[in-house]
Structure formats: structure tokens, C-alpha cells
């Protein structure tokens, strides 16, 4: 544990102007507040915030961040309040401490939901100040270093899984690779000790077979670069167990096939030297073309810049190599932390200057997650998007005007369209890739030029969810479908209520629906109609709420059920009300009706809306006693001139769905 003067000396070693009095005050205050509290290891609790602060000094972070690390648990674990922190240490530190305070107070029905809700809160907190994330990552790192002292195996597994699923990807997304790597290794040790030990044994065997390989290869690379008059430092290392495990899983190979266990880094003086060094290395050893990546001209979203190549080097070894400058290396290892060093002319955080100089926003992944929250995404949706956005590598594609768009590897045209703008995605009806029409399920490749073909109005089929991978696209599609569901269920419910009133000799427009709203616990008429459309409330129940004892005339009711008023912009391919297949109208899987079959609709109570059956479907027997649920339907055919008769879809919708065809 760092003593008080040792911590202050570490801070002053990189920031001679650090507020020593503030650091001393925070150290003493946190020690006094935590008092006799103990960790699971038996150590004084105060050892934990000191270790967290020590981790952050390795990144040369500003005084406010170090003070926050010392105080990060006092609000949660002691009687201290935010107001006291503000008074003693200032509003800036008060906001940071409050942001880092653990977010596990909310009790939800499942562990998964609790974790997702905490992530939701956490993303909102770090969106205000990324130093909150830096402190939280250091906090999690020290907790993982001492995880073995927790008695409960289930709790250890839960913490390790959360670390691997959330905290390590968050660290990677902002480029803090040292913390990311250690978090992954520690979590892997607890989650899969058998695999980790097996990899360890294989690595030991390879070390014995390739003794001295790191120093040999490093020396030969340095020698070749010196011959080319390129000043450089060369470092070699053994790959980590978890990164090897992921590679084994990705390539579906066994431990016996594992051979390339070393990675080398070449640090040069300038960007030009990076490319010169690459030329020297490729002349010296055969390269593997598909393994070359240029992240200098096209940086990753977290602003990572480097040249990656793999060559068949000395002894026939496959050698992975990264070539970059000192500044690139600092950002690669420290990520966004490199921008939050102590604030002098050299180290102040200036994101706008960085972007103007051609760099990328290192917080872009976090901003994407915040956008999900701002557009009403729920906690579980956010959890899914976090894993999607932060685990995937990148592909770089272009608009016809040359704008570069960075997308995860495996992205498809709709991901591209929604990355440009939500409206562009919603109105997409086709796509050209490198000048040729392609299906919407085409996987985009590096360097593709993508042109989105747009229709006049939003057309978002539910099937689109299966041909997108980015959180941004999936969130926008779900949002549009939710809105469409709301509108269509409301329209369907209003029509069925009107029919029931007509059969009873009443007009809905002549009465107040307030008694029905109160009875069914809804605030507006549209909410009531939506509940009816979803089958959660029946039209006769609405009639009974307004006119107790009044019944609809069965003959008139039967006639009314044969008629659902057509919407002006009918979207469905059965006559009735402008409903969208897959949203508020569904086809029964048992009888699978097709155009030409006699059909009937059933409004079930499962919240899905109208289900279409063939007239002789065996499942209809279950609804014999629920006449109010039946709707007579007919196929509606849309025709256009020419050799093809288009059934079911308007042209814009047809084009959107043609894009789904392989």
C-alpha cells in the first residue's frame, strides 16, 4: 500500500504543480471515513482506494482524478454526503465521486436485469466526464486482483463475467489496453481455469522448443532496420492466454495447432518512418497479405493508430508486428487517458484540436451507447448493444462523395445507412455497392463505395432486425417498429370498438370514454384502443364499462365483424385497416395461409394483434366461444402494369423486402 508521501511524490514526479494540500487532505479524509472497515482479504478497506489512486498515477492523470480515486467509495460505504464532498473538495470532485459511486442499489427481478440497469446508469454517468470511467476501471482492476478472497464461488463468477462482458470491452473501447488486457486475463483465470492451464502448458512447451526466440527475432528486426537507416526500438512479448483462447475459438483450432505466440512492436520517430520500416520488413521476410492493416491512414474509432503486418520470419516463424511512433504507442496503451494527463500546455485534453488535426473522437463508442439511451432504449437493449459495439473490429467504407464511414466488421448496408442518419436508414429501399445493385444482406468489405437508394417515406420491415449488427441500426429499427405497433394497434382497436358500438345501436363519438379509461387503468383513448387492438381488452368490455347491461345485437355484430375500414395508406396484404405484416398482423404457423386461401382473423389476448388463419385451421376450435375475437378477412392484391403482378406490397415496401433476398 502506498504511503501518503509516496503517493504525493508519484503525482509530483509528473506534475510539479499538483495541489499537494488537496491530495493530503483527501488521503487523510478517506482514511478517517473508512476507519476500521475491512476488505474480504482482511486488509484495511482504505488500502483499496489507495491502490486505485496508484493505478491511475501510472497514467499520469490530473490531481482531480487522483483525489476522486481516494474518495470514490466514501459516499456509498460511509455516512459522507455529496454536499460534504462539494464543501471540502469542490464541485468538480464532488461530481466525479458521485459519478463513480457504485450503482447496485436498484433491486430488480433478475441478475441480468440488475447488471443491465447498472450499465445504463454507468453509461449516462461517464458520458458527462470520462474520468468517471477511468476511476471505475481502476477500481474494477484492483477488485479483480483480489477476487480470490471472496468466499462465494457464484459471486466470484458473476464479478468475473461482468468484468469480461462489460468492463474489459469498455476499457478497449477507449483504448486503455493495459487495463483491458489485465482485466481479461484475471477474468479468464476465474471463468475457465482449465483452458487457461492448458494454454499455459502449451506455451511452456513452445518456449522450450523456441528458446530465446523473442531476443533473436527482436535483434534481427532491429538489425535490418538499422541497415535501412531507420532509428527504431523493437520489443517482443509472448501473447496473453485470453487473447490466445479467443483466437483458438475464432479459428476453431486445437492447442496442438497453436504456433504463433509472439508479437513484436517497432517504435520509430515519425509517421514516414512507419512506412519505411514496413518496406524494410517486407523486403526481408515474406508477408501474409491478408494480415496487413493500415490503422494510421484509417484509425480505429478509439483513435488507435498503427501498421499491422504478419511475416514468415526467422526459423519459419509467423511473426505478428505492429509499427508505430512513440505518440501512437502512448495512445495505443493509454487511450483516452493520454488526453487527461495533468493540465499544462503539453497535456491538456483538447478533443476539438485532435479532431481538427485528423484524429478521431476516442469516445465515439460511448457516444453511440448514449444515443441508444437518449432514444428510449431499455436496459437489456443497451446491454446487447454494448457487447455488439465494443467487441467487434472495424471495416472502412465510403460514400459516393468520398466520406469515410467506420463500421464493425460484418456490417451490412442498413448498418451503413443508419450510421449516416436515422432518416436515411428508415427510407432505404436498396443499395449500390461499387456501382452495382446488391441485396441488403451483403456484408460490406474494406474500401467498398456504398450508395443508399431512398424511397419517399419510411419503410422499416421487421425482417430488417436480422440484417443489421450495429447497436445504432438495431435501436432505430426497434424504435420505428414500436411506433408502428402503437399506431396500428390503436387503429385496429378503434375500428373494432366502433363496430361493437354500431351493433349495439350506439356511436362511440357521442359518449365520453372516461369510465372505460378509469376501469382499465389507461390515461388516453389511444391507449385504450391499443389495448383492444392487442387483445388485452375486448370491445364488449368497453361497451359494458360505458353502458352496463347493454349487449350488441349478434346479427349486426356478425355483419360488422365482416368489415374493417380500409386505411388510406393500407400497408397489409389482407383487406383491412393498414396493418403491417410482422408488426400488428401475423400469420399462423400451423396453417400458413397463402394468397387464394379463404382466411379469417383472430384478435388473441397475447398482445400480438391480429393472427391470420385459413378458414379450416384446426386451431380455430379454441375460439368458438369468443365470437368478438373473429374478423373476416380477404386478400388484397396490388397490381401494376407489366409482366409481373405484385402481390402484398407497395412498391417501396417491395424493394425494401427484395433487398432481403440472397
| Three-state secondary-structure class, residue 434 | coil
The reported pLDDT for the residue numbered 257 is 63
167-195 pLDDT tens trace: 888 888 777 888 999 999 999 999 999 98
Write the CATH number of the domain with boundaries 392-458: 3.10.20.30
**What are the CB-based long-range contacts (under 8 Å, 24+) for 18-23?**
18/63, 18/342, 19/63, 22/63, 22/67, 22/89, 23/63, 23/66, 23/67, 23/70
Most confident residue range from 38-47, 96-105, 328-337, 647-656: 38-47
Most confident residue range from 114-123, 185-194, 432-441, 512-521: 185-194
Q: How confident is the model at residue 87 (pLDDT cuts 50, 70, 90)?
A: very high
How far lies 166's CA from each of 115, 234, 291, 377, 656, in Å?
A: 9, 33, 28, 18, 35
315-363 pLDDT tens trace: 778 889 999 999 999 888 887 766 555 443 333 334 443 443 344 555 5
Write the CATH number of the domain with boundaries 196-356: 3.30.460.10
The reported pLDDT for the residue numbered 104 is 35
Note the helical H segments in 307-401: 326-334, 351-356, 364-374, 379-391
Provide the Cα torsion 119, 125, 131, 134; round to 10°: -10
The reported pLDDT for the residue numbered 110 is 40
How far lies 153's CA from each of 116, 143, 156, 188, 352, in Å?
A: 21, 15, 5, 14, 46
Residue 274 CB neighbours (<10 A): 24
Least confident interval from 49-58, 87-96, 399-408: 399-408
Note the helical H segments in 72-176: 74-77, 82-89, 91-100, 111-128, 131-145, 153-162, 168-173
Give the residue numbers marked as catalytic. Answer: 76-77
98-122 pLDDT tens trace: 888 754 343 333 455 455 555 555 5
Least confident interval from 212-216, 392-396, 478-482: 392-396
Per the document, the length of the chain is: 662
The reported pLDDT for the residue numbered 397 is 84
Q: Which one has a higher pLDDT value, 201 or 583?
A: 201
What class has domain 4-189?
mainly alpha
How far lies 273's CA from each of 10, 182, 232, 299, in Å?
A: 34, 31, 9, 17
* Residue 593: half-sphere exposure toward Cβ, Cα within 13 Å: 26
Cell numbers representing residue 376 in the block: 428510449
The reported pLDDT for the residue numbered 561 is 46
Mean pLDDT of the residues in the chain: 78
Query: Between β-strands 585-587 and 610-614, what pairing exists: parallel, antiparallel or unpaired?
Result: parallel
The reported pLDDT for the residue numbered 380 is 53
H or E stretch covering 43: none
Mean pLDDT value across residues 152-160: 92
Mean pLDDT value across residues 238-252: 83
- pLDDT score of 448 more than 90: no
Mean pLDDT value across residues 254-276: 84
Angle at which helix 111-128 crosses helix 131-145, to 10 degrees, equals: 140
**Residue whose C-alpha cell reads 487527461 in the numeric block:** 340
Mean pLDDT value across residues 634-643: 49
H or E stretch covering 599: strand 599-603
d(CA 528, CA 576): 20
d(CA 122, CA 132): 9
The reported pLDDT for the residue numbered 620 is 80
Q: How confident is the model at residue 366 (pLDDT cuts 50, 70, 90)?
A: low
Q: How confident is the model at residue 391 (pLDDT cuts 50, 70, 90)?
A: very low
The reported pLDDT for the residue numbered 12 is 92
Quick check: 635 and 596 in contact, CB under 8 A?
A: yes
* Residue 152: half-sphere exposure toward Cβ, Cα within 13 Å: 6
Where in the chain are the domains?
4-189, 196-356, 392-458, 477-633
- Supply the pTM of this predicted model: 0.60
Mean pLDDT value across residues 33-45: 91
User: If you write DSSP's letter for every residue of 541-558 in order, what string do you get?
Assistant: HHHHHHSTT----HHHHH
- pLDDT score of 640 more than 50: no
Q: How confident is the model at residue 642 (pLDDT cuts 50, 70, 90)?
A: very low
The reported pLDDT for the residue numbered 499 is 79
d(CA 660, CA 662): 6
User: If you write DSSP's letter for every residue of 406-418 in order, what string do you get?
Assistant: EEETT--HHHHHH
The reported pLDDT for the residue numbered 532 is 83
Amino acid at each position: 500500500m502506498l504511503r501518503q508521501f509516496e503517493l504525493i511524490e508519484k503525482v509530483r514526479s509528473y506534475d510539479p504543480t499538483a495541489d499537494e494540500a488537496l491530495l493530503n487532505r483527501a488521503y487523510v479524509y478517506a482514511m478517517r471515513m473508512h476507519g476500521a472497515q475491512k476488505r474480504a482479504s482482511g486488509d484495511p478497506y482504505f488500502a483499496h482506494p489507495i491502490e486505485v489512486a496508484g493505478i491511475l498515477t501510472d497514467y499520469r492523470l490530473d490531481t482531480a482524478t487522483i483525489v476522486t480515486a481516494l474518495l470514490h467509495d466514501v459516499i456509498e460505504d460511509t455516512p459522507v454526503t455529496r454536499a460534504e464532498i462539494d464543501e471540502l473538495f469542490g464541485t468538480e470532485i464532488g461530481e466525479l465521486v458521485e459519478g463513480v459511486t457504485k450503482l447496485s442499489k436498484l433491486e430488480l427481478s433478475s441478475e441480468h436485469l440488475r447488471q443491465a440497469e447498472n450499465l445504463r446508469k454507468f453509461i449516462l454517468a461517464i458520458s458527462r466526464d470520462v474520468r468517471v470511467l477511468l476511476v471505475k476501471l481502476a477500481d474494477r482492476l484492483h477488485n479483480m486482483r483480489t477476487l480470490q478472497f471472496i468466499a462465494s464461488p457464484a459471486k466470484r463468477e458473476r464479478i468475473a463475467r461482468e468484468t469480461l462482458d462489460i468492463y474489459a470491452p469498455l476499457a478497449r473501447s477507449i483504448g486503455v489496453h493495459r487495463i483491458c488486457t489485465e482485466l481479461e486475463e484475471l477474468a479468464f483465470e476465474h471463468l475457465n481455469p482449465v483452458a487457461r492451464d492448458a494454454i499455459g502448458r502449451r506455451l511452456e512447451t513452445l518456449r522450450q522448443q523456441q528458446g530465446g526466440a523473442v531476443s533473436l527475432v527482436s535483434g534481427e528486426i532491429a538489425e535490418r532496420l538499422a541497415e535501412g537507416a531507420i532509428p527504431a526500438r523493437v520489443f517482443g512479448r509472448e501473447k496473453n492466454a485470453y487473447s490466445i483462447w479467443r483466437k483458438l475459438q475464432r479459428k476453431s483450432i486445437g492447442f496442438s495447432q497453436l504456433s504463433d505466440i509472439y508479437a513484436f512492436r517497432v517504435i520509430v520517430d515519425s509517421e514516414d518512418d512507419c512506412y519505411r520500416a514496413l518496406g524494410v520488413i517486407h523486403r526481408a521476410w515474406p508477408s501474409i497479405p491478408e494480415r496487413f492493416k493500415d490503422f494510421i491512414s484509417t484509425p480505429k474509432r478509439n483513435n488507435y493508430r498503427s501498421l499491422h503486418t504478419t511475416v514468415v520470419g526467422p526459423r519459419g516463424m509467423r511473426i505478428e508486428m505492429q509499427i508505430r511512433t512513440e505518440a501512437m504507442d502512448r495512445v495505443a496503451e493509454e487511450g483516452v487517458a493520454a488526453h487527461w494527463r495533468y493540465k499544462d500546455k503539453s497535456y491538456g485534453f483538447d478533443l476539438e484540436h485532435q479532431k481538427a488535426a485528423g484524429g478521431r473522437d476516442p469516445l465515439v463508442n460511448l457516444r453511440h451507447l448514449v444515443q441508444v439511451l437518449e432514444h428510449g432504449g431499455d436496459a437489456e437493449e443497451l446491454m446487447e448493444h454494448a457487447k455488439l459495439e465494443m467487441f467487434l473490429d472495424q471495416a472502412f467504407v465510403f460514400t459516393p462523395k468520398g466520406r469515410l464511414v467506420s463500421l464493425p466488421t460484418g456490417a451490412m448496408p442498413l448498418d451503413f445507412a443508419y450510421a449516416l442518419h436515422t432518416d436515411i436508414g428508415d427510407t432505404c429501399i436498396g443499395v449500390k455497392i461499387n456501382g452495382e445493385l446488391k441485396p441488403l444482406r451483403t456484408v460490406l468489405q474494406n474500401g467498398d463505395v456504398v450508395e443508399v437508394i431512398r424511397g419517399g417515406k419510411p419503410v422499416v420491415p421487421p425482417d430488417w432486425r436480422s440484417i443489421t449488427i450495429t447497436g445504432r441500426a438495431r435501436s432505430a429499427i426497434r424504435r420505428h417498429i414500436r411506433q408502428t405497433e402503437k399506431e396500428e394497434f390503436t387503429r385496429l382497436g378503434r375500428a373494432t370498438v366502433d363496430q361493437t358500438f354500431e351493433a349495439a345501436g350506439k356511436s362511440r363519438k357521442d359518449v365520453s370514454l372516461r369510465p372505460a379509461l378509469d376501469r382499465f387503468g389507461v390515461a388516453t383513448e389511444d391507449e385504450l384502443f391499443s389495448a383492444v387492438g392487442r387483445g388485452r381488452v375486448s370491445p364488449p368490455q368497453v361497451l359494458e364499462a360505458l353502458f352496463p347491461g347493454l349487449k350488441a345485437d349478434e346479427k349486426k355484430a356478425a355483419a360488422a365483424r365482416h368489415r374493417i375500414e380500409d386505411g388510406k395508406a393500407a400497408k397489409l396484404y389482407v383487406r383491412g385497416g393498414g396493418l403491417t405484416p410482422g408488426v400488428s398482423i401475423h400469420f399462423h404457423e400451423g396453417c400458413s395461409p397463402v394468397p387464394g386461401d379463404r382466411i379469417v382473423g383472430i384478435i388473441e389476448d397475447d398482445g400480438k394483434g391480429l393472427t391470420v388463419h385459413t378458414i379450416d385451421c384446426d386451431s380455430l376450435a379454441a375460439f368458438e366461444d369468443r365470437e368478438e375475437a373473429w374478423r373476416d378477412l380477404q386478400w388484397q392484391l396490388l397490381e401494376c402494369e407489366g409482366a409481373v403482378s405484385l402481390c402484398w406490397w407497395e412498391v417501396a415496401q417491395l424493394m425494401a423486402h427484395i433487398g432481403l433476398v440472397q
